[in-house]
Structure 1
């Protein structure tokens, strides 16, 4: 998720500070859910279903969990037509997104799972993306991370009919801070910035 923060959130922060140069921000980029009250955070951007109702949240988009492979790999090995076909392909799993070898799929309200035997397992999405771009196999990544590679044709999405529900993205803030004019300008700016991103909508 740090990729999301560094690319989308940091871009928003940079443009915000250019618009409001008198402001000062302390940005915390971490790949975990933080306790905003304990860590003194006024505004956060979160990917995923929200568990804590004590915060106010504004939905700004969603990301998909997509299976993808390079154009060259698919040309050489063919396109999987259904999840079970993955057993015949070289699978690369990023543990952050696929913590087990049991992959879940959904189609027309029906959920299924397929167990795969990956030839490569990595701890992060960056490494999985590099591997698929090197024509090494098929992996599952978040759509925003591979948006540029998909747009340029280096990667192709497969099994799109079997994708699980998109994961929501929210700008989250503490209720007691909503009346703060300075906090409000940042909230409004980040909401507008993130909603304008094609890969989040």
Structure 2
């Protein structure tokens, strides 16, 4: 069996590390998969799978090799699609990474609209608040919030977000509006992390970064819970602007300490290949870039 087919056999374990399920996925016998992976381990000189009575799990070497296999096999698939002329049509599988909260408040309608517009594309969305290694993780497109590290990725800017401090009009009327960062120590603060009795909020004062530590009165396990509690008069909270957009536009929350806000964070849509990118990648990037640039939450200074 050649190396390509061995990689196909091994990559079949990517959905679930089960030899039986890999065999079913490939429509071959279980012993065929076992023999292929055994030959692969022998040739590479490393253990790719850790076997036990509970099944199999990938070793560290296996996880790294799995990422490489997925990437290489996908590149082969794209090359064949290009040769067949399928790059002129958006179809196939698309793997994207999206920030978790950003997706909830901004991306979900765009994803639904994209799938309506391109019914032959299957989207596999991963949700993480981090910068990925797109090659190793086999990602096609990512939406990233923050300053990008130097890389060979193609990045298209779509807007920016800020970190806001806000409170409900009723709370601010009863307790007064803070006029300087230090004033938050005299307010009830709502933390956006569970079991956090001390918060440290960063600001910018006369062009220089500063931070204020203060005790929170309420700690919430999610940002949404903190925002809802704040809108109901629990105190002041601080988070990125996009979860606050609807609350600020409807007047349920009011932005405070604006002169001390940190510089805006850019938002980019990034992908790996420019001219060689498949139509499914280009269609998704163009669709999402246009949608995000038009989204009012990407212009927080307008709030």
Q: TM-score, normalised by structure 2?
A: 0.61
Cα distance, 1:6 vs structure 2: 2.7
Q: Does the CA contact (< 8 Å) of 1:42 and 1:177 recur in 2?
A: no
In structure 1, the gaps of 5 or more residues are: none
Q: What SS does the aligned partner of 1:28 have? A: strand
Give aligned pairs, total: 200
Per-residue CA deviations over 1:9-35 (Å, capped at 9, x if unaligned) read: 222221112122222222222334332
Look up the match of 1:75. 173
Cα distance, 1:115 vs structure 2: 1.7
Per-residue CA deviations over 1:31-60 (Å, capped at 9, x if unaligned) read: 343322222110011111112513111110
Structure having greater relative contact order (Cα 8 Å, sep ≥ 6): 1
Distance in 2 of aligned mates of 1:170 and 1:140: 23
Seen in structure 2, the aligned counterparts of structure 1 residues 124 and 152 have a Cα distance that, compared at 3 Å, is: same
The reply on whether 1:115 has 2:213 as its aligned counterpart is yes
Task: Give 1:1-201 correspondences, 5 Å limit.
Answer: 1-95=99-193, 101-175=199-273, 178-201=276-299
Q: Does the CA contact (< 8 Å) of 2:105 and 2:243 recur in 1?
A: no
Cα distance, 1:176 vs structure 2: 6.6
Runs of 4 or more off by more than 4 Å in structure 1?
none
RMSD: 2.2
Distance in 1 of aligned mates of 2:206 and 2:231: 30
Answer with 1 or 2: which has the greater Rg.
2
Q: What SS does the aligned partner of 1:37 have? A: helix
Q: Does the CA contact (< 8 Å) of 1:54 and 1:175 recur in 2?
A: no
Q: What SS does the aligned partner of 1:25 have? A: strand
Q: TM-score, normalised by structure 1?
A: 0.90
Per-residue CA deviations over 1:54-75 (Å, capped at 9, x if unaligned) read: 3111110111100000111001
